[in-house]
């Protein structure tokens, strides 16, 4: 079993990931999403894609939860910044997990290579989680969000992920509770 102190330290490092803000929104504006919030959405999306594609859900969820964990040490780097800066995700992951959780470290190495079905699912779920935020910005009137939605739809390769992303991009984000709203309005009018 792992040393309790290692696990304690990992949990506090996870708290850093939870508090970190994603930097790309500073360019597009209108959003204050945290890395932890993005990770949650990625995991939810990856779970359903993984089920649909009969992938190993334990691997999919593990990759989803930890895919950006290195950002506690490297920070979040938006796409424009990658033209000018580099970060060593592998070193950060090794420093975090080596000797503490070798199987997790190996899973993250597999994710970074994007060669397994599970890694592709998580990568595409990561993109779709970004698309969800863009769609919400578009609904609030951000005139630049549609360009980013279209550009990120083009990053997807898995048919099921493409279908989901296109549906998300064309569905009103409040449709999920349309039937409840109707019931509420009927109750309010009594």
Tens of pLDDT, residue by residue over 48-82, are 999 999 999 999 999 999 999 999 999 998 888 98
pLDDT, position 2:
61
Identify the domain containing residue 162 by its residue range.
4-188
pLDDT, position 140:
94
- pLDDT > 70? residue 164: yes
pLDDT, position 1:
45
Q: Which residues pair with 34 in a beta bridge?
A: 21
Tens of pLDDT, residue by residue over 92-116, are 999 999 888 999 999 999 999 999 9
| Mean pLDDT taken over the chain | 94
pLDDT, position 30:
76
Per-residue DSSP letters for 46-75?
A: HHHHHHHTT--HHHHHHHHHHTTTTHHHH-
When divided into structural domains, the chain yields a total of 1
Burial of residue 94 (CB within 10 Å: 0-12, 13-18, 19+) is middle
- pTM here is 0.93
- CA–CA dist 60, 120 (Å, integer): 9
Q: What Cα–Cα distance (Å) separates residue 55 from each residue in 75, 129, 163, 168? A: 30, 19, 18, 22
Continuous segment of H or E residues that includes residue 91: helix 89-97
CA-based radius of gyration for the chain: 18
- CA–CA dist 140, 30 (Å, integer): 9
Q: Which of 3-12, 93-102, 163-172 has the highest mean pLDDT?
A: 163-172
CATH of the domain at 158: 1.10.3210.10
């Amino acid at each position: 079993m792992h040393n309790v102190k290692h696990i304690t330290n990992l949990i506090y490092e996870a708290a850093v990931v939870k508090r970190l803000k994603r930097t790309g929104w500073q360019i597009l504006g209108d959003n204050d999403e945290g890395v932890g919030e993005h990770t949650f959405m990625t995991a939810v999306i990856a779970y359903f894609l993984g089920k649909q594609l009969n992938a190993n859900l334990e691997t999919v969820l593990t990759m989803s939860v930890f895919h950006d964990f290195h950002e506690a040490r490297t920070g979040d780097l938006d796409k424009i910044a990658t033209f000018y800066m580099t970060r060593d995700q592998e070193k950060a992951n090794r420093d975090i997990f080596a000797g503490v959780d070798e199987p997790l470290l190996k899973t993250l190495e597999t994710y970074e290579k994007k060669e397994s079905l599970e890694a592709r699912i998580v990568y595409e779920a990561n993109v779709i989680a970004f698309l969800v935020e863009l769609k919400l910005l578009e609904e609030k009137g951000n005139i630049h969000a549609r360009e980013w939605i279209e550009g990120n739809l083009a990053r997807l390769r898995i048919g099921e992920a493409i279908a989901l992303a296109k549906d998300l991009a064309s569905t009103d984000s409040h449709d999920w509770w349309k039937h409840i709203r109707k019931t509420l309005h009927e109750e309010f009018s009594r």
